[in-house]
Amino acid sequence: MAMAIERKNSFHLLLSDDELALLRLLAEREGLNASDYLRTMMRRLAGTSQHLGALMRMGEIDWTTGAEAKKKTK
């Protein structure tokens, strides 16, 4: 049986109502709570190359799948 990770640190973010709703929606889509979702995203970003990380931050890569994001054309 795996032991739970003990978390003793806390970090607070100031988010707008829209940002919090979006964070919760994204987390729910992944089956996570907001804190676990943010930790997962940080770990994914830390494990990528600088180039891929830059693309993810610019919205060129889908954070959830790592696939190239489809650009909308007018």
Look at residue 18 and tell me if it is in a domain: no
State the total domains in the chain: 1
DSSP 60: S
Please report the pLDDT score of residue 27 as a whole number.
95
Within a domain: 62: no
Domain region containing 49: 23-57
Q: Which residue has the tokens 């739970």?
A: 4
Q: Which residue has the tokens 């640190």?
A: 9
How many alpha carbons fall within 13 Å on the CB side of residue 40? Answer: 15
The per-residue pLDDT for 74 is: 43
**For residue 69, is it within any domain?**
no
Residue 49 within a domain: yes
Please indicate, yes or no, if residue 10 is contained in any of the structural domains: no
Q: Model's pTM, two decimal places?
A: 0.61
Per-residue pLDDT of the chain (74 residues; tens, 9 = 90+): 677 778 888 888 899 999 999 999 999 999 999 999 999 988 888 887 777 767 766 666 665 565 555 554 44
Number of other residues whose CB lies within 10 A of the CB of residue 51: 8
CA distances (Å), origin 32, targets 24, 25, 49, 50, 52: 9, 10, 25, 26, 24
For residue 67, the model assigns a pLDDT of 57
Residue 6 forms part of a structural domain: no
